[in-house]
A and B are shown apart, each in its own frame.
Chain A
Amino acid sequence: MNIEKVVFAFFIVLALTLNFGFVLGDIDNPDHHNVYELYAALVVSLIATIMKFGDRTHVGAVLLATSLVADLQLIVAAVVWGFSSHLIETGLDAAMMTSIVSLSAGAVLANVTSVILLILETMMVRH
């Protein structure tokens, strides 16, 4: 067992689960989507990205790319959240919530890809 692999897989899977948990619920209902969960998903996703830095294999490069996509989606979602709750007079309404959740749903797809790649890579290792 390699402790580095454990930590690596832990963060990749955690990024997916948190992200999925945030997206779960009615798309336009602000009560179904917790801001702390988005925050946690963003932080864990960033950590997972940094952990993929410097891997020179082909799989490593694709993993980094999917992770960067997830980060981008989540950062935009967080910015939209902050923007709508402070700068728009209507506040965080259903329309804004929809775009936030759909952005993070995109991140879920990217994270799913990451996890699939991780599983494939694990299957390739025969021992």
Chain B
Amino acid sequence: MQHVFYLLLRRLRTPMITVLVIYSICTLGFVLIPGVDDQGKPWRMDFFHAFYFVSFMGTTIGFGEIPYPFTTAQRFWTIVCIYSTVLGWLYSIGKIFALFQDPSFNRLINRNSFNRRVRRLRDPFYLVCGYGVTGSRLVRALDAQGIRTIVIDASQRLIDELEADAMGLAVPAICGDASDPDLLNSAGIRSRNCAGVVALTNDDHANLAISIDSKLIDPERPVISRTGSKKTTANLASFGTDHIIDPFETFAEHLALSVTEPYKYIIKDMIFNPHHRVLPSPYQETRGRWVVCGYGRFGKAVEKALQSRGIPITFIDADPDSRGAPAGTVEGVGTEAETLLAADILTAVGIVAGTDDDADNLSIIITARDLKPNLITVARQNLGPNKPVFRAANVNMIMEPGRIIADEIFVLITTPLTIKFITYMCEREDSWAHELLLRISAIIVDQPLALWAINVNSEETPAIHDYLLAKRPVRSGFLCKDPRNREDDLPAMVLSIRRRDDLLVLPDPDTRLEEGDEILMCGQHRAQFFINWITDNYNVLRYMHTGVEAPGGLVWGWLNSRKRMRRSR
């Protein structure tokens, strides 16, 4: 606010002095010019009357010639005064309006109101740098969960879009360079409420700067950063960035997983993307050679992921020599049938259109499918607005880097335990995942899969806490039964329990819970309500344990215990 106030005062100096000088000259003139009173005697205006007259004349109110009718000389001076005061006011007001429309002044005002909104935030928040495809998706998802965010983006257009987006919570946003430490400061990076920093700008260097800044201020605070190159990845890792996400490698991993271990892929996709669509891959022949168009960053990531799983690839690239493509690469874009035939498309099981041109990618898919209709098609979509076209092309798998990163970061923020679970799953056999998928499907039926975490402590689960203090057992199976009738199952299951450094995956229903456990559950969204009931209400928990609906009040408890004693006697 300070800056704006000083700037305003500084800019108002000239207009204010102009008005002041005009007023003082006019007033002095009326005092000096001789007049006559109502009896025709010589009379001179004093300063009081002169100032009074100039005040109402200057503001064009005009009460008339007060206190006595003016002489010709006074009227002459009045004409001069009328024009000069009106011009003075016009000039001053024009200056003030010009100031309010001045871009630099507006930027200052915006910055100030942003600072104020950030400072007023009392809840924990995440600082999201970059409001592109990824950032906007992430912010919207977090907003829907009631998690606060603060946004910085370099483009005013995106900030305007954010303001137009209907959010549940107020999201303070500012346009500016996110690598500027001063701006990060304004955005609350030093605030104790800042729960984490997410660097999603298109510029690797900016992401680095943001991550370093946050790590220097608080090494404990999680930092999630996007990366575009190996060098940046290594650099980010060197100072302890918690999660580094490379969109191309992430997607290549997805693709490789879907080809080699489809059940794991489906579970992973269900977790990351609640509105997940079932892919045909588990039911199709996926083992075999793949054709990949484009040997850029994306192509290389696919090569690494597929070859580590022993899947052969034939590359098609427009300029194989300078990009260092492997031997056997076909030269061409892949949009013509000849090139595809040269890459032996007829014996391949799938094609990946991974060039950085959306039109080329679509053309590759359509040409390839003409040659071999049952081909698995994977396309890279570079620009967000092209989504409907890719949908219409009926591609089996669309790679949208922005969506993938946003979903992964969202899960990282809301249920960090999930990532541990997925890592565990990826180390198992695919048949293990198949079995798990059948269990999950039986629970959720046709609903979207919801995930949530429960921390066993006195604040989040008071009933379990008290029950454990009373040395009574709480079993993980209690959480999956209906509190209205414990014979019935709730549409939910326990995925894993983290106890200190151990991870108990798919625990037996008889597993005893302990204080400090972190429980990861999944199931239908509505089950959460009943589970909260069990974890928060002591009587409900006792019913889950004993099957008896015990009286809760002291009097009834006392009467009951007497009755029991009498009966036992």
Given A43-B24, A82-B48, A86-B48: A51 and B10 within 8 A (CB)? Answer: no
Given contacts A50-B13, A53-B9, A54-B7, contact A85 B24 (CB under 8 A): no
Is A54's CB under 8 angstroms from B10's CB?
yes
Contact of A39 among B6, B11, B28 (CB under 8 A): B28
Residue of A nearest to B16 (CB): A50
Q: List 29 A-B contacts (CB under 8 A).
A: A35-B47, A36-B28, A36-B31, A39-B27, A39-B28, A39-B31, A43-B20, A43-B21, A47-B20, A47-B21, A50-B17, A50-B20, A51-B17, A53-B10, A53-B16, A54-B6, A54-B7, A54-B9, A54-B10, A54-B12, A54-B13, A56-B6, A78-B47, A81-B47, A82-B47, A82-B48, A85-B46, A85-B48, A86-B48
8 Å CB contact of B13 from A46, A53, A85, A86: A53
Shortest distance from the beta carbon of A2 to any chain B beta carbon, whole Å: 16
CA distance A39 to B9 in the complex (A): 25
Q: How far is the CB of B81 from chain A (nearest CB, A)?
A: 16
Contact A47 B10 (CB under 8 A): no
Interface positions, chain B 10-40, Cβ under 8 Å from A, are: 10-13, 16-17, 20-21, 24, 27-28, 31
Interface string of A4-48 (1 = CB under 8 A from B): 000000000000000000000000000000011001000100110
User: Residue of A at shortest CB range from B50?
Assistant: A39
Nearest-CB residue, chain B, relative to A83: B48
Q: Is the CB of A46 within 8 A of B10?
A: no
In the complex, chain A residues whose CB is within 8 Å of the CB of B48: 82, 85-86
Q: What 0/1 pattern do residues 66 to 107 of A give for CB contact below 8 A with B? A: 000000000000100110011000000000000000000000
Q: Give CA–CA (A35, B49) in the complex, Å.
A: 14
B291 → A minimal CB distance (Å): 66
Q: Are the C-beta atoms of A51 and B13 separated by less than 8 Å?
A: yes
A54–B16 CA distance with the chains assembled, in angstroms: 13
Residues of B within 8 A of A51 (CB): 13, 17
* Interface residue ranges of B517-562 to A (CB < 8 Å): none
Of residues 260 through 319 on chain B, the ones whose CB sits less than 8 Å from some CB of chain A are none
Question: Could you tell me the distance between the alpha carbons of A51 and B31 in the complex, rounded to whole angstroms?
Answer: 27
Return B539 CB to nearest CB of chain A, in Å.
65
Interface contact tally, CB-CB below 8 A = 45
Task: Enumerate the 10 nearest inter-chain pairs by beta-carbon distance, A residue then B residue, closest first.
Answer: A54-B10, A82-B48, A53-B9, A54-B9, A43-B24, A50-B16, A54-B6, A50-B17, A56-B6, A53-B13
Please classify the interface of chain B as helix (H, G, I), strand (E, B), loop, or mixed, using the class held by over half of its residues.
Answer: helix
> Which A residues touch B17, using CB under 8 A?
47, 50-51
Residues of chain B within 8 A (CB-CB) of A47 are: 17, 20-21
Q: Which residues of A contact B9 (CB under 8 A)?
A: 53-54
Q: Which A residues are in CB contact (< 8 Å) with B6?
A: 54, 56
Rounded to whole Å, the gap between the CB of A97 and the closest CB of chain B is 15
B211 to chain A, nearest CB (A): 34
* Residue ID in chain A nearest B17 by CB atoms: A50
Given contacts A39-B27, A53-B13, A81-B47, 8 further A-B contacts (CB under 8 A): A36-B28, A39-B24, A43-B21, A46-B20, A51-B17, A54-B9, A54-B11, A86-B48
How near does chain B come to A56, taking the closest CB pair, in angstroms? Answer: 5
Q: A89 to nearest B CB, angstroms?
A: 16
Alpha-carbon gap, A46 to B21, bound state (A): 10
Min CB distance B299 to A, Å, is: 56
| A53 partner residues in chain B, CB cutoff 8 A | 9-10, 12-13, 16
Separation of A50 and B20 alpha carbons in the complex (Å): 10
A46 to B13, CA, bound (A): 11
Tell me the chain B residues, 47-90 only, with Cβ under 8 Å from chain A.
47-48
* Complex interface: chain A residues within 8 A of B24 (CB): 39, 43
Which residues of B are found within 8 Å of A36, using beta-carbon distances?
28, 31
**In the assembled complex, how far is the CB of residue B145 from the closest CB belonging to chain A, in whole angstroms?**
43
CA distance A53 to B12 in the complex (A): 8
Across-interface contacts of B12 in A (CB, < 8 A) = 53-54
Please provide the chain B residues from 465 to 496 with a CB less than 8 Å away from any CB of chain A in the complex.
none
Contacts of B21 in A (CB 8 A): 43, 47
A50 contacts across to B, CB distance below 8 A: 13, 16-17, 20
Closest B residue by C-beta to A11: B17
Contacts of A85 in B (CB 8 A): 46, 48
Alpha-carbon gap, A78 to B50, bound state (A): 13
CA distance A81 to B21 in the complex (A): 22
Q: Which residues of B contact A86 (CB under 8 A)?
A: 46, 48
Bound-state Cα–Cα, A85 to B48, Å: 9
A43 to chain B: which residues have CB within 8 Å? Answer: 20-21, 24
Closest to A56 in B: B6
A18 to chain B, nearest CB (A): 13
Nearest A residue to B7 via CB reads A54
Give Cα A51–Cα B12 distance, bound, in whole angstroms.
Answer: 10
Shortest Cβ gap from B143 to chain A (Å): 39
Name the distance in Å between A102's Cβ and chain B's nearest Cβ: 20
A74 to B24, CA, bound (A): 15
Residue of B nearest to A44 (CB): B24
* Closest beta carbon of chain A to B16's beta carbon, Å: 5
A50 to B10, CA, bound (A): 9
Closest to B46 in A: A85
Instruction: A8 to B37: give the CA distance in the assembly, Å.
Output: 42
> Which of chain A's residues has its CB closest to B12's CB?
A53
**Minimum Cβ distance to chain A for residue B163 (Å):** 31
Q: Are A39 and B13 in contact (CB under 8 A)?
A: no
CA distance A51 to B14 in the complex (A): 8
